[in-house]
Structure 1
Amino acid sequence: MDDDGYDRQSFSINGQSQLTDEYSLNLVSRYETGGSLYDTQWGGADENEYKNYSVKLGGVYQGEKLLVETSFAKSQDQAGTFEGGVDPKVVSDITTKRDQFGLLAEYGLSTDTSFVGGFDWYEERVANTGSAYVKDKRHANAIFVQARHQLNAFLFEGAVRQDDIQGLDKETTYNISLWLSTKSRLVVKYKPRYRF
């Protein structure tokens, strides 16, 4: 008789609260754990387990012309392999963690013209009981702006974004778009993309 099997449990909490007419908070979270047993012909590890969670708290301000969204997020993924019947039984255990912050703002100058700007930041960390990494942490951030203008059937868009990842060079990309539309479908789209 084969006693191998697996288990999995998950739990989540999601919610939203309207604090005022203009401001609301929202929460998205998840926790999951599980593992499995398996047969191996090479010996050594014959079990694995994992434990993951994520939580994101966001706030939204919606004014007459201004929309502002902020978010804070934290997550962890942990997975390990084990050998049953020995002590200690840990063969390998890898844990990655990520912290993140985002800010997005949109301002409507008029019904035809709007501007969007934002900032993203995150930091990642990794640990492995089986080996040490030369780099076990990195952070990155990005800033971006976009402008949109509607002129009759024409929609003009322009955007610029700069990304800065630790250990790599900064990179700036931008694009310019022109849309021509009818009531029923898109007729023409011109969207060159540039990088420098």
Structure 2
Amino acid sequence: MCGYQGWFTAKGDGSGSDWTHYKAGKELKPGSITIDLWPDMSEMDKDEKYPTPFKHADGSTAYLFSSYNGKTVDRHFGWMKDYKINGVFLQRFGVNLKRPDLYKRRNVITHHVQSAANKHGRTWAMMYDLTGFKAGDIKKHLIPDWVALKDKVKITEDPSYLHHKGKPVISVWGIGFDDDRKYSLKPKSYDFISQRS
């Protein structure tokens, strides 16, 4: 199992954003890029390539991909099948649950992952990233989101969704940091999830 952030967007991809998680400032330009390695775009089709201000050594345009493009997510899952990767933990960022525009984007990407996992015989599970959460946010935002995914979207009934001993798997990232985070996984915090899963 791998992590799958699904957080990259590109200018012109329909997400309403531009270069999320590619840029550090207001513009995508030298000195403000956040990725460690440029993705290999050689297998991407034209409708998966988004032009950037960067140029290759030969002067040609350097392109990036978008996780908002369902065709690209499908391609990633096809690669997983080719290279015998069983599936992914799809990160669902807690702070995105607080903003309608970002919440919608996460739902679109979740749909792409679910469709691609089923098509390519891969599995997936939700990983909640609690970065930026404060005390009370688990009860206010995360639990209602999980209940909606389970009861309305019915992701736990999806044959590609990962289960362990008959229970849907949920991963949580962000516990145990020695900083200003005020949430925890003490029983009172997650009993409601356990009862509804």
TM-score category by the smaller chain? Answer: under 0.3
TM-score (norm 1): 0.25
| Higher RCO by CA contacts (8 Å cutoff, separation 6 or greater) | 2
Higher normalized helix content (fraction of residues): 2
